[in-house]
Structure 1
Amino acid sequence: MSKLLFSAAVSAVLCASAASAQTSDDARRAELLRQRAAIDAELARLDAAPPKPQAAPPAIAPPGTDEIFVTGKALPLTTGVSGQTVTTVAAAAFRNTPATTIADIVRLSPGIAVTQGNGPRDVGVSVRGSNARNGFGARNLQVFEDDFPVTQPDGLARFDLTDPHAYGAVDVVRGPSSARYGNYALGGAVNFRTRSGREIQGVEAGFDAGGDGYANLYATIGHATSGHDIAVFGSYVRGDGATGHTGYETGTLNALARFELGSGDRVAVKLIYNEGDFRLSTRLSYNQYLTNPYQQGCQAAATAAPGCGTISVLVNGINGARISQTADEGNLARNDRRTIIGTRYEHDLGPNTTWRTQATFDSRVVNQPTSATPFKGTLDSYNITSDVTHHGRIAGMETTSFVGVFYNYLDNQSYSFNKTPAGRNGFGALTQTVFGDVRNVGVRAREELQLTGRLQAIAGIGAERSILDVRQTAYSYPVGANPVLAFIPADRHFTNVAPEAALFWQAVDAVRLHARVGTGYGIPQAGNLFVTPAGVAGNNASLKAPRNTGVDLGAKVALGSTFKAELTGYYEWFTNELVSQSAGVNLLAYTSNVPRSVHRGIELGVSWKPLPGLLPGAKLDASYSYNDQYYTDFQERLTAGTVSKLLDRNGKAIPGVIPNFLNVRAGYDQPAGPLQGLGGFAELGYRDRFFVDNSNLLAMPSATLVNLNLHYAPPNGSGPLSRLSFYASVQNLFDATYVGAASVISNSLAASGAENPASVLANTTGSVYAGQPRTVYAGVKARF
């Protein structure tokens, strides 16, 4: 990746700002007055109307507001979801923070747990434990940006795709949601919303710097009129992690343009481009982590300090002798490129009916010498949806009717190799190729019925046909013999149906209650299909599609502008959850189904201004998640030599799931006077201990982290400084050493047939990353 490419991209954004900044004061004043008049009129209408769970049909927005560009009268794709448990985190919560990863945003929502991903910028996001077993990216969760999909048809999304500085809000949709989002929505969905051109209306540019070589240069240019809204974001970021051989350089371009073509036609165009170069460390055993959490002194295996992780590399890259290498010697890395281009067209077929069609192209090109078996591949996908929304009446009751069709396709061309001692470019002989495609096609329907002014009923259903047509060629290289090729075809078909129903009741003006039953489903990934339960290469044809059915009961309370809270309890029944198991010593790990398990918990979010009269700028925000998840029908077979044993895991906690996750932020922002714009907060985050094995023998310890933040954004009219804002932040104030992430590890048997204790499991490598130690950040942002 060329640094010049991204430096030039950011420079282009900054230079282009000159023309936009020349808008005359008179034109700007007229535009603001028009917006204010529209807002005043809308507020007057809301004050005069009785509260409703959802207004249907939506009113046509007045000129000069964003709504004409977003969805018109079509049913929202993710933003403003009705009939779900949803939390929106607004930009005010993270605007004056480092926001080095999206963990700084989504952890403010109940139901979310975040862990370190596979690399210093990657983040694992788990909604109700949905992604707890995965060591990188996101599974069992649909991810969107500005309502465009960034989860590919094989179910994988990555959270290091773009810079959090681009976002204006994040919507977290929780609970099984396949009726609305299709495959992999067992945990729900996340929609990242970039800032609009109307919000920016000019240029914003900033620079952040911090410990471990962190630096981020970014800029956004935006412009909007009554007929268009355009925003372009660019950034170049680098950083060296605290752990040995970690770091990254990555550049991002992110743009959204929306146009009103006429009174009944709207178009949106989306572009995301990200290229990154990442240095990776190895995951450690728990004992290695205790000895040397940040992997210091691990440059060479021959002279490595205690606690250093290593990989085993073939000397000739084909067969025979092996040597050990540290991450530094092997130069473990990722060099990935992602390009997403999407367009959305809406046409009003009549005053109450809107047709919408959306198409997205998503290209993921990966080069990943991350382990002893480097991986390369090109995974291009196409996603097309088309739907109709109609607003009408049934027996005098307002209704919103929705029906849509969808199709997505992934072309998988990937290769795995043996690694040689020759560093990052040490690609040896092929170990396997995987070619083929994943196709999903289906239909969705939904009805939202306003039973009374305060009671709303929602019902929906989705049906999907999925086809995995993939072919693996496995290569082995016996010493002194010709290579052996094993061709394994896998042609699997799955049909899934997901219904849902919900009731929303505005009990009183300040209290809204809801009850929901939803379902979710997924399908196996291609890599799950090529190892049999015997631990050898073959078609794993017995795998079934995972499914879940969940019940949500919840309430939202709003007491004016001083107190808001949401409380949800959920209970979900899973069938055929996918897990990885060890077939025994010197055998391959394989994927199997857990017949039944239960996921249940409580989610709480609070936003409170405790002393609005005395301290109007004081605010307390908190989010809490409790997850109780366990197997109810699971027999796991362990093998050691000639000994094989079937172990009952019923009642065992599902590994990787953090039972309690808490985030509390207490802050103050001066609303008026000579110190207006000055503020800060103290933040406490707590994550509970959690198990990493199916037998619940080895647990990672709990952790409590404290962050401090001070920021200053001078008000308009306060002189030259009014165009600037500043912040300083200390993350992990007390420099706690904690487990940032721990992959699930396999249990094992001793020669006697007894299960090995935690002391043995603590030596299992490939699991633990240390979290970030105390780090200081500071930043400045200018507006033009």
Structure 2
Amino acid sequence: MAAHAQQGDTAPHTPTLPAVEVLDSTEAQQRFDSAASHSSMAVDGFTATTPLVHLSEVLAGQPGVVATDRGNYAQDLQIAVRGFGSRSTFGVRGVRVVVDGIPASMPDGQGQAATAHLPTASQVEVLRGPFAQRYGNAAGGVVQVTTRDPRPGGGAQVGLGLGSFGQRLAEASFDFGDQRLAGLVGVSHFDTEGWRDHSAARRTHLNTKVVAQTGARTRITGLVNLYDQPLALDPLGLTRAQFAANPRQAVAATAAFGTRKAVGQNQLGLVVDHQLSDTDTLQLRAYGGTRQLTQFLGFSGEAANSSGGVVDLDRAYHGAAASWTRSVRRASGLPLTLTAGLEAHRLAEHRRGFVNNAGASGAVRRDEHDSASNTDAFAQVDAWLTPRWRAMAGVRTSQVRVGIDDRHVTPSNPDDSGSRTWRHTSPTAGLVWSASEHLNVYANAGRGFETPTLSEMAYGLDNSGPNYGLSAARSRQWELGAKWRKGGHEVDMAWFDTRSQGEIVPVATVNGRSVFQNVDNVRRRGLELAWRASMGTWSPRASYTYLDARFGDAFTGAGGAAIAAGNRLPGTARHTAQLALDYAPTPQWRLGAIVHASSAVFANDLNSQQAPGFAVWGLHAAYRVGSAQATGAHTTRWQLWARLDNVFNKHYAGTLIVNDGNGRFFEPAAGRRIIVGVRAQFL
């Protein structure tokens, strides 16, 4: 996330699009002194007691954040921050995902989290609240993953894991080079038969980072990320009756239409950090990639004016960003940091749709070339006003454009070509008061926006083609918070309030596809609490989120349903909490337990269907075989690890497909499951 100047620190800082590599005391102090709700979770690919397959493994228990594994690899994770993103039925919307400074969210706001390679990550960060708006479109929150730097002197690591329901994991990484030129190559393979019927998946992931220190002032980082998921069967959601009768079943449509998805994505990135002077730094970023996707949906799509039941997507995307930062000391001796920059991101995709003939592609029903782009400019100032008061302010202006070039024109399917452009300016401001050495109190406010994705604006009412009239949602946010650090204890608290106009919600389902509309006066407000401590061999932590997310006005929803003012936003729980305890009785052993609880969640705008609340337990353990076995100048370490999730085999809905037109809202969470693994590290 953004690194902010702290009092007494004269080093240059890059508050926007940073490359944060190591979680150290300086960065912890910067987060403590910042006027924002910001969490950082260290990731260690060797000591972790999880398979590191999903971001949900790391994000679980963060205040204000809901990150859930759907148990459905055809739809990716569901991530929501303070209620933003809860409407997503696939992928990530309303929340920006950034990996090594490269957006995993496209210009239209649609993103995916699967391409973050956690075995080679060093940390995962979450920025919540108004200051997330500095990242532009659909930044109700920001999740950033950072790949670790290559280890000095090189090394290697391998790992294997086996678990319930056919889970198999293999991973390896290799570090090489010296201080001038070093590299990291990591590869992992995961496959599973799935807990539910028709939910098997297989994927392979490669992540490479090469760092060149070309001089005392210049660092160049090259990034390669290759992701291949040739198989992901889609079990679809269940109705309430099906969920109660047998949560492991897949509905009949999965066999009738061969529901599944295959994805391949390849991406290159380049980052240049150059120190222009003792006070000025310049950062340049560029990236490009391709994504191929084929998905068989749970209906035929054979109607002449349908878009088909098979999606075939071929996408190319690229972007660049430049930021300049000046960090100086004023005559008073207090630091001041200025940042300004530009960003441009583009995607072009060839999207086709075919009739789904019992799991095989049939006649063409859609053929179009889509595009999306955004061009943004931003500026920010960060200044200590006195030794106890710090102010931060910024502004970002954005232009987002989407276009559709329809190539499938028939008497029943007229030319739907067109375009739409949205412009928005997002100001933010915050203030921090250092009440004492251990306590900071802060307040901030800002405005943001979220455009409809290409998928959300693809269909209009009465088969009228794309919904070019769909507007961007606009939000006003503020928060008050406090951060306390003393004696190994950390406490964070924040009260937030967000009001949105033009919220994007469904209005109908046409030929199996959702049609969206804008509604006003949507409110999200709540409280976040987090505590963690280090007490000798014990490391407890706890978090709690209260979220009141509701529609302020009545409106007409899908199927003509009357949505009452005061109805809850679907997909949001009013209460979520997590309590975890880790225990390290010896340097070799680590033991832990965790309980996660959630109140009931509504499945639709009408609030006529809901998933009951739940509490689930998990256990984990790790044993390091010999703390360090030296062989000549080298060190070999081994770690055995195991985890047992859903200890009491709780039957509950892990996620919901909100506002599903078929009433199949429920995606059951897996039952009791165990996974064990071993990792070896050679340094």
The normalised TM-score by structure 1 is: 0.79
Q: Does 1:310 align with 2:224?
A: no
- 1:408-463, Cα deviation, whole Å (9 max, x unpaired): 11102111111002x3xx00112222313112112100000111233211000000
Q: Please say if residues 56 and 77 of structure 2, whose CA atoms lie closer than 8 Å, have aligned partners that are also in contact.
A: yes
- 1:72-101, Cα deviation, whole Å (9 max, x unpaired): xxx99x999944211001126971223342
The alpha-carbon deviation at position 583 of structure 1 amounts to 6.5
Summarize the Cα distance change of 1:412–1:68 in structure 2 as closer, same or farther, 3 Å threshold.
closer
Q: Secondary structure at the match of 2:165?
A: coil
Q: Which entry has the higher C-alpha Rg, 1 or 2?
A: 1
AA at the equivalent of 2:522: S
Q: Please say if residues 567 and 605 of structure 2, whose CA atoms lie closer than 8 Å, have aligned partners that are also in contact.
A: yes
Summarize the Cα distance change of 1:348–1:360 in structure 2 as closer, same or farther, 3 Å threshold.
same
Q: Which residue of 2 aligns with 1:726?
A: 640
Q: Please say if residues 229 and 257 of structure 1, whose CA atoms lie closer than 8 Å, have aligned partners that are also in contact.
A: yes
Q: Please say if residues 733 and 774 of structure 1, whose CA atoms lie closer than 8 Å, have aligned partners that are also in contact.
A: yes
Q: Does 1:359 align with 2:312?
A: no
AA at the equivalent of 2:680: A
Q: Which residue of 2 aligns with 1:86?
A: 38
Q: Secondary structure at the match of 1:728?
A: strand
Q: Which residue of 1 aligns with 2:405?
A: 471
Q: Which residue of 2 aligns with 1:314?
A: none
Matching residue within 609, 622, 645 for 1:698: 609
Q: Which residue of 2 aligns with 1:123?
A: 77
Q: Does 1:443 align with 2:396?
A: no
Taking only the aligned residue pairs, the percentage that are identical comes to 21
Distance 1:701 1:608 in 2: 32
- 1:719-762, Cα deviation, whole Å (9 max, x unpaired): 79961111111111111111122112269xxxxxxxxxxxxxxx
Correspondence list, 1:121-520, <5 A: 122-177=76-131, 179-185=133-139, 187-198=140-151, 201-223=154-176, 225-276=178-229, 277-295=231-249, 309-311=251-253, 327-372=254-299, 373-394=309-330, 396=332, 397-421=334-358, 423=359, 426-472=360-406, 484-520=412-448
Summarize the Cα distance change of 1:106–1:417 in structure 2 as closer, same or farther, 3 Å threshold.
same
Q: Please say if residues 88 and 109 of structure 1, whose CA atoms lie closer than 8 Å, have aligned partners that are also in contact.
A: no
Matching residue within 642, 653, 657 for 1:743: 657
Matching residue within 532, 541, 549 for 1:621: 541
Distance 2:83 2:247 in 1: 25
The alpha-carbon deviation at position 59 of structure 1 amounts to 6.5
Q: Please say if residues 346 and 372 of structure 2, whose CA atoms lie closer than 8 Å, have aligned partners that are also in contact.
A: yes
AA at the equivalent of 1:626: Y
Distance 1:191 1:360 in 2: 16
Q: Which residue of 1 aligns with 2:302?
A: none
The alpha-carbon deviation at position 177 of structure 1 amounts to 4.2
Q: Secondary structure at the match of 1:216?
A: strand
- 1:478-522, Cα deviation, whole Å (9 max, x unpaired): xxxxx6332112211111000000112221111122111122212
Distance 1:488 1:112 in 2: 38
The alpha-carbon deviation at position 163 of structure 1 amounts to 4.1
Matching residue within 631, 649, 661 for 2:551: 631
Q: Higher helix proportion, which one?
A: 1
Q: Please say if residues 535 and 582 of structure 1, whose CA atoms lie closer than 8 Å, have aligned partners that are also in contact.
A: no
Summarize the Cα distance change of 1:457–1:111 in structure 2 as closer, same or farther, 3 Å threshold.
same
Distance 1:201 1:279 in 2: 39
The normalised TM-score by structure 2 is: 0.90
The alpha-carbon deviation at position 279 of structure 1 amounts to 1.5
The alpha-carbon deviation at position 400 of structure 1 amounts to 0.5
Q: Secondary structure at the match of 2:414?
A: strand
AA at the equivalent of 1:106: L
Matching residue within 462, 473, 478 for 1:551: 478
Q: Please say if residues 79 and 95 of structure 2, whose CA atoms lie closer than 8 Å, have aligned partners that are also in contact.
A: no
Distance 1:175 1:512 in 2: 17
- 1:685-707, Cα deviation, whole Å (9 max, x unpaired): 11221111212221111121111
The alpha-carbon deviation at position 646 of structure 1 amounts to 7.2
Structure 1: runs of 5 or more not aligned: 1-50, 61-65, 296-307, 312-326, 477-482, 640-644, 748-763
Distance 1:666 1:457 in 2: 37
Q: Which residue of 1 aligns with 2:579?
A: 664
Q: Please say if residues 12 and 279 of structure 2, whose CA atoms lie closer than 8 Å, have aligned partners that are also in contact.
A: no
Q: Please say if residues 178 and 519 of structure 1, whose CA atoms lie closer than 8 Å, have aligned partners that are also in contact.
A: no
Summarize the Cα distance change of 1:661–1:472 in structure 2 as closer, same or farther, 3 Å threshold.
farther
Summarize the Cα distance change of 1:517–1:742 in structure 2 as closer, same or farther, 3 Å threshold.
same
Q: What's the RMSD between the two structures over aligned residues?
A: 2.9
Q: Which residue of 2 aligns with 1:18?
A: none
AA at the equivalent of 1:416: G
Q: Please say if residues 139 and 184 of structure 1, whose CA atoms lie closer than 8 Å, have aligned partners that are also in contact.
A: yes
Distance 1:746 1:216 in 2: 33
Distance 1:86 1:80 in 2: 9
Q: Which residue of 2 aligns with 1:566?
A: 492
The alpha-carbon deviation at position 199 of structure 1 amounts to 7.2
Q: Which residue of 2 aligns with 1:108?
A: 61
Matching residue within 661, 672, 675 for 1:774: 672
AA at the equivalent of 2:369: F
Q: Secondary structure at the match of 2:455?
A: helix
Matched length: 655
The alpha-carbon deviation at position 259 of structure 1 amounts to 1.7
Matching residue within 539, 542, 548 for 2:469: 542
Q: Higher strand proportion, which one?
A: 2
Q: Please say if residues 279 and 334 of structure 1, whose CA atoms lie closer than 8 Å, have aligned partners that are also in contact.
A: yes
Q: Please say if residues 596 and 634 of structure 1, whose CA atoms lie closer than 8 Å, have aligned partners that are also in contact.
A: no
- 1:168-224, Cα deviation, whole Å (9 max, x unpaired): 211011124465211111x12111122321279411111111111111110122246
Distance 1:458 1:466 in 2: 26
Q: Secondary structure at the match of 2:151?
A: helix
Distance 1:81 1:546 in 2: 31
Summarize the Cα distance change of 1:717–1:282 in structure 2 as closer, same or farther, 3 Å threshold.
closer
Summarize the Cα distance change of 1:192–1:603 in structure 2 as closer, same or farther, 3 Å threshold.
same
AA at the equivalent of 2:349: N
Q: Please say if residues 89 and 109 of structure 1, whose CA atoms lie closer than 8 Å, have aligned partners that are also in contact.
A: no
Distance 2:335 2:125 in 1: 26
Q: Secondary structure at the match of 2:435?
A: strand
AA at the equivalent of 2:484: V
Q: Secondary structure at the match of 1:529?
A: coil
Summarize the Cα distance change of 1:474–1:630 in structure 2 as closer, same or farther, 3 Å threshold.
farther
Summarize the Cα distance change of 1:81–1:577 in structure 2 as closer, same or farther, 3 Å threshold.
farther
Summarize the Cα distance change of 1:369–1:346 in structure 2 as closer, same or farther, 3 Å threshold.
same
AA at the equivalent of 1:597: V
Summarize the Cα distance change of 1:491–1:178 in structure 2 as closer, same or farther, 3 Å threshold.
farther
Distance 2:670 2:660 in 1: 26
Distance 1:654 1:410 in 2: 31
AA at the equivalent of 1:115: T
Summarize the Cα distance change of 1:159–1:648 in structure 2 as closer, same or farther, 3 Å threshold.
closer
AA at the equivalent of 2:539: K
Q: Which residue of 1 aligns with 2:303?
A: none
Summarize the Cα distance change of 1:57–1:636 in structure 2 as closer, same or farther, 3 Å threshold.
farther
Moved more, 109-118 or 590-599: 109-118
Q: Secondary structure at the match of 2:416?
A: strand
Summarize the Cα distance change of 1:156–1:59 in structure 2 as closer, same or farther, 3 Å threshold.
closer
Distance 2:642 2:493 in 1: 33
